[in-house]
């Protein structure tokens, strides 16, 4: 069922309450999600994006109940990833000649996924426009690397809606569609988790893109992303948050992340937490056992942190695979302007702390020289290393 967003602009997507993982198993979903597609019914009928592949038949059936598919004058493919293009193949079998407006890179990604079908592509660039009748225009804005090279946003004049695709989205199912109807706490958390885990590597580009959008001087009444709540109440709040988050964001927080074999490294993690509170009572301290914590939630905590401490015992002349796997993910996300320290127990060879320091440097962290390296089970005198470690981490 189509649902009005504003005037002749409708939502026609899929609210995905059942979704638990995204990007394979790489992104955890805790509160459902949605794939937001939009239908504009002016003199021209325009479809913006579709839904994920598993929902393609339901999507096309729903669309057919709302409109004659042959009345669709054009399709805007803001992004080729299959959570938005998944119904395109099924749809194009029914209306094969329909023009598809997208970036040059989206032609590559769509043909790469669905094959060369001879679709009627119209390649657009930033600033290109399309008249849709009743005095309204669509304006296209390339959003290269936000988060794929093929991404773009589409703006409709007079209604002043920015269809931002993945940018400004959240993996959050909001049946009522709009941000003012959503649970604010969950929505803001999911928006930050989305940024930390998907957009943070492109933060520098995002800062430039936000300026470019602002410089276009387009009034924005609604930001309609392709996942989660549509920002109709104070829509610029999410743009302002993105500007903050993209600028090496941090709060007065230190996050301690560790895994442990026989609880020795865990004891050091807890001692570090106590010492941080002793030295800096206002600093928020959070401690997570990696193997018992969602890795994406942990990245949200890292994004909020000014420093992290990472711990692992030495095993196999290296560190636990849970920690090395997580550190590889940490490196991908390219956090900036954060300190880090390493800790861990050892019994035979003792490489975990220097290895952790190397991994953390490689991930772009400013790593302190001090490490808390403890021989076998931590004893009272071993904790004497902790105050200097924390002092350096907080400095
Ligand atoms: Fe990049 Fe929501 O797909």
pLDDT at position 214 is 85
226 in contact with ligand 1, CB cutoff 6 A: yes
Q: Which residues are catalytic?
A: 23, 79, 81, 83, 147, 166, 194, 227
**Alpha carbon distance 195, 22 (integer Å):** 14
**Alpha carbon distance 37, 329 (integer Å):** 30
| Radius of gyration, alpha carbons of the chain | 24
Burial (0-12, 13-18, 19+ Cβ within 10 Å), 311: buried
Q: Which CATH superfamily is domain 253-394 in?
A: Flavodoxin domain (3.40.50.360)
Q: Enumerate the domain spans of the chain.
A: 3-246, 253-394
Q: What is the Å distance from ligand 1's center to 17 Cα?
A: 17
pLDDT at position 114 is 97
**Alpha carbon distance 167, 72 (integer Å):** 26
Nearest partner of 196 among 274, 49, 297, 313, judged by Cα: 297
Helix (H) or strand (E) holding 65, with range, is helix 56-66
Burial (0-12, 13-18, 19+ Cβ within 10 Å), 348: exposed
Sites in the chain below the pLDDT cut of 70: none
pTM: 0.96
Indicate which residue's Cα is closest to atom 2 of ligand 1.
166
Q: Which atom of ligand 1 is nearest to the CA of 226?
A: 2
Q: What is the Å distance from ligand 1's center to 392 Cα?
A: 40
Instruction: Give just the sign of the alpha carbon dihedral 358, 364, 365, 368.
Output: positive
301 in contact with ligand 1, CB cutoff 6 A: no
Q: Which atom of ligand 1 is nearest to the CA of 148?
A: 1
* CATH code, residues 3-246: 3.60.15.10
> What is the per-residue pLDDT across 273-319, written as a single tens digit (0 to 9) for each?
999 999 999 999 999 999 999 999 999 999 999 999 999 999 999 99
pLDDT at position 142 is 95
Q: Which of helix, strand or coil describes residue 207?
A: helix
pLDDT at position 390 is 98
pLDDT at position 215 is 86
Q: What is the Å distance from ligand 1's center to 189 Cα?
A: 18
On whether the CB atoms of residues 317 and 285 are closer than 8 A, the answer is: no
Task: Give CA 142 to chain center in angstroms.
Answer: 18
136 in contact with ligand 1, CB cutoff 6 A: no
pLDDT at position 290 is 97
Q: What is the Å distance from ligand 1's center to 252 Cα?
A: 31
């Amino acid at each position: 069922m189509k649902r009005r967003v504003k005037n002749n602009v409708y939502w026609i997507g899929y609210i995905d309450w059942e979704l638990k993982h995204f990007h394979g198993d790489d992104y955890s979903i805790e509160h459902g999600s949605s794939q937001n597609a939009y239908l504009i019914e002016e003199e021209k009928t325009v479809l913006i994006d579709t839904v994920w592949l598993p929902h393609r038949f339901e999507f096309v059936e729903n669309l057919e109940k709302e409109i004659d598919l042959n009345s669709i004058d054009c399709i805007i493919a803001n992004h080729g990833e299959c959570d938005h293009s998944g119904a395109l193949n099924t749809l194009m079998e029914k209306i094969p000649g329909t023009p598809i407006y997208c970036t040059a890179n989206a032609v590559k990604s769509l043909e790469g996924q669905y094959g060369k079908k001879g679709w009627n592509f119209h390649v657009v660039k930033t600033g290109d426009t399309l008249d849709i009748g009743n005095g309204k225009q669509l304006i296209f804005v390339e959003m290269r690397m936000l988060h794929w090279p093929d991404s773009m946003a589409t703006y409709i004049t007079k209604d002043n809606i920015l269809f931002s695709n993945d940018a400004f989205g959240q993996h959050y199912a909001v049946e009522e569609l709009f941000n003012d109807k959503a649970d604010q706490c969950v929505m803001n958390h999911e928006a930050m988790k989305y940024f930390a885990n998907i957009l943070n590597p492109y933060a520098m580009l995002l800062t430039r893109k936000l300026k470019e959008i602002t410089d276009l001087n387009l009034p924005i009444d609604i930001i309609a992303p392709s996942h989660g709540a549509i920002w109709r109440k104070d829509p610029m709040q999410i743009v302002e948050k993105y500007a903050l988050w993209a600028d090496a964001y941090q709060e007065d927080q230190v996050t301690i992340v560790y895994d442990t074999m026989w609880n020795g490294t865990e004891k050091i993690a807890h001692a570090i937490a106590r010492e941080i509170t002793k030295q800096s009572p206002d600093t928020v301290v959070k401690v997570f056992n990696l193997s018992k914590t969602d890795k994406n939630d942990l990245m949200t905590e890292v994004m909020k942190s000014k420093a992290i401490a990472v711990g692992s015992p030495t095993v196999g002349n290296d560190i636990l695979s849970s920690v090395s796997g997580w550190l590889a993910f940490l490196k991908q996300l390219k956090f900036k302007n954060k300190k880090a320290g390493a800790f861990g127990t050892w019994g035979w060879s003792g490489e975990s702390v220097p290895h952790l320091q190397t991994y953390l440097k490689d991930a772009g962290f400013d790593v302190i020289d001090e490490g808390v390296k403890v021989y076998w089970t931590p004893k009272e005198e071993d904790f004497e290393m902790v105050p200097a470690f924390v002092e350096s981490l907080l400095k």
